[in-house]
Amino acid sequence: MYEKDELTSLASFSTIMRVLKKDPNFNKYCTQHRVKKGTKVILDKNRKDCYLLESGFVKYNYIGQSGPGLFFVIPQGRFISIPFFKDQFIVHGELTALTELVWWKIDVEYLRKLLLLEDPRNFIVLDYSIQLGYYLYIMTKKYYLSAEHRIYFSLQRCSEAGIRIAENQIELPSFLTYDLLAEFSGTSKGYTSTVLGELRDKGILLSSKKPWIITDVTWLDDILEVEGLAKH
């Protein structure tokens, strides 16, 4: 077994880039791109490239009749999607740039060759699979929560992309809006506004202007701990 942060460090963005640059054909098969906020990209089963996010935040939506509401937010430094088996992507979906992005578009066969040579113990794929498994767990768990607790949970998840400005306070990311929080939570904008108003009245949240600030992170964590949704 690994320590909590050990595997993540073995599969960090800098480690992945170092592996990719081992081959002299790096510039042919790996290209860096700037992506505008709001850009959408469909990932289908026939794609030959994968994406490594250097900066920014991406929302990954599942496609299909069961897709609406099934999504997660990918932070910088991580793969957006890679196949576990040759020529087989098991997760298909739509990407939405929540902020301006910089990502690397990488030829899958090139990635496979480099991982076989430079990462024979599969640290990078293992780290990705653990993260994907966690995303699937929290998506399933979220939909057993009450509407109110789904909003709490979405705030907690967004706080992981925020800035800790004091011991028990976090500034939430600028991309978060009432509409987006309602979408994340599977609730109406009106109900979301009501719950946020209650949090403001309790002194838990400052959201009358940007940036929003959670003023009592412990209160939020304690409620979700009971639901089995402690921070990862």
- CATH number at 100 reads 2.60.120.10
User: Is pLDDT of 209 > 60?
Assistant: yes
Domain boundary among 97, 118, 142: 142
Look at residue 67 in the predicted model and tell me its pLDDT: 47
For the chain, give the number of residues: 232
| Rounded-to-integer distance, Cα 130 and Cα 11, Å | 12
Answer yes or no: is 231 within a domain. no
- For residues 29 and 119, membership in a common domain is answered with yes
Say what the pTM is: 0.86
Query: Are 109 and 157 in the same domain?
Result: no
Question: Do 29 and 135 belong to one domain?
Answer: yes
Q: Where are the alpha helices (DSSP H) in the chain?
A: 6-10, 13-20, 26-29, 108-118, 123-142, 147-159, 178-185, 189-201, 217-226
Across the strands, what pairs with 79?
52
Identity at 84, one-letter amino acid code: F
pLDDT on residue 140:
82
Domain holding 152, by residue range, is 147-226
- Quick one: 131 and 179 in the same domain? no
Instruction: Please report, for residues 118, 158, 205, 212, the alpha-carbon distance to residue 197 in angstroms, rounded to integers and kept in the order given.
Output: 52, 18, 8, 13
> pLDDT (tens digit, 9 = 90+) per residue, 65-117?
554 556 788 899 999 988 877 666 666 788 999 999 999 999 999 999 999 99
Whether omega before 211 lies within 30 degrees of 0, making that bond cis, reads yes
